[in-house]
Amino acid sequence: MFGTLATHILLLLVAIIAINLYLSSLPAWFFVTQVSTRSIAALLHNLTLHPHVAGTPQGFATAKFVEERFREFGLSTRTVDYEVLVSYPLKRSLSVVYPRNSSLSLALDEETVDGDGDSSGVIPTFFAYSPSGEALAEVVYANYGQKSDFDELKSLGVEVRGSVVIARLGKSFRGDIVFNAQEEGAVAVVLYPDPRDYATNATTEGYYPFSRWLPPSGVQRGSVIQDPGDPLTPGWPSSKLSERLDASNLTRLGVPAIPALPISARDALPIIEALGGPVAPDSPLRVFGIIEGSEKDRYVLLGNHRDAWTYGAGDPNSGTACLLEIARIFGQFLRRPARTIVFCSWDAEEYSLTGSTEWVEDNLAMLKARAVAYLNVDEAVTGSSFSASATPQLDNLLVEVTKMVKDPDSNGTIFDSWCGNQTIVSGGWAVVAPTTLHSCSTQEFPPPA
């Protein structure tokens, strides 16, 4: 339901920003009437048949699927390759060693769910860019791993140096937790999703697939590098012939110096139970579809990342399905818009926004001169309520568009429901990378054929 609403709203936003002079003959709301939930469902089904991590054959197949759909919908297409550093797990293990030398090896696996498709290609749980390593040390629980948590440990006389830190995810970026522990002298980090944060109402609503709540064996994969993009080419694109920094000393490039591992709440339980002390407070491929406008050097960009740690049904491919549905409708019904519309399908977002960052670094001057707006949709469906954010320039437009879309669960509009769920404030939302449109080579975006 809300995937369709997200598509409605994005259609209106793109139509209003891109078409402007064309609105009198074909109003923006017309595009909303063309949305097909069957089309979105079919696209999402095809996108999520197999796991598709960036840089894998399955990831490449997903890129080709998006490119073929763009062509099918009548868009001019382009693909751009970069050679970037990514990491994959070879082996990982975790054991609890008790005082009398007994031990417990933790499973480090996720239970499969009926109907989730082929799980043989699911990448083992790991943190991208975590270095290889081995550690045997006492465990220190660091709550959410924020600086204030480590300050609290100091005030209690708890020594972190030389220990393995275990902390729960939820209040700060996982990479910051690892670096905070590293600064305190920890030798390794283990992070888990606390059910109080990731399965809040599971006792009454159940776990996935019966609700949105993470099951006990669920693990959060992700990157732990601090800066976006390829760490070997900070500030410039990772083209084939680009100069690269020495990969033998990645720690000075924002990569942690100590190993880090994600585990499930189920695997974290025996570690937590064994602790004493006080209770703590709570190569990526970019695919572009282009509709050239009469102002062909003014770009409205609509983007979504395509890669996923596993199947990506919610993040990002509910958004990919919506992006393709928008492309279908524009390709089918739109005559020449006032501004060029560029559909961007990013790869390697899960590896610290690498796909979009490298392209932006390759096209900074062009974007600064020509980009009108960037609209992003990664998670079109992740729950039962609508939310959106924008930079201040788009605040009013976003509000007006939500007033035009009806909420199927009430007699009002999405705006009415949105106001009932949260307070709307000005954005300041970074959509591709912090520098994307603020310091947006003289290289021109490839014109449509």
If DSSP codes are grouped into helix, strand and coil, which group holds residue 106? coil
Structure tokens at 212: 């949105």
Best CA proximity match to 191, nearest among 179, 176, 174 = 174
Q: Are strands 260-262 and 188-193 parallel, antiparallel or unpaired?
A: parallel
For residue 127, what are the β-bridge partners? 222
Please name the residues in contact with 38: beta carbons below 8 A apart, sequence gap of 6 or more.
none
Q: Which of 67, 292, 325, 349 is catalytic?
A: 349
Residue type, 297: D
Structure tokens at 184: 């305190």
Best CA proximity match to 176, nearest among 214, 141, 148, 140 = 148
How many other CB atoms are found less than 10 A from the CB of residue 370? 20
Q: Is 349 a catalytic residue?
A: yes
Please name the residues in contact with 5: beta carbons below 8 A apart, sequence gap of 6 or more.
386, 405, 407, 408, 414
Best CA proximity match to 8, nearest among 441, 256, 410, 329 = 329
Q: Is 170 left (phi over 0), alpha (psi -120 to 50) or beta?
A: left
CA distances from 439 to 82, 359, 448 (A): 21, 13, 25
Please name the residues in contact with 252: beta carbons below 8 A apart, sequence gap of 6 or more.
none
Please name the residues in contact with 361: beta carbons below 8 A apart, sequence gap of 6 or more.
229, 233, 235, 236, 237
- Residues annotated as catalytic are 349
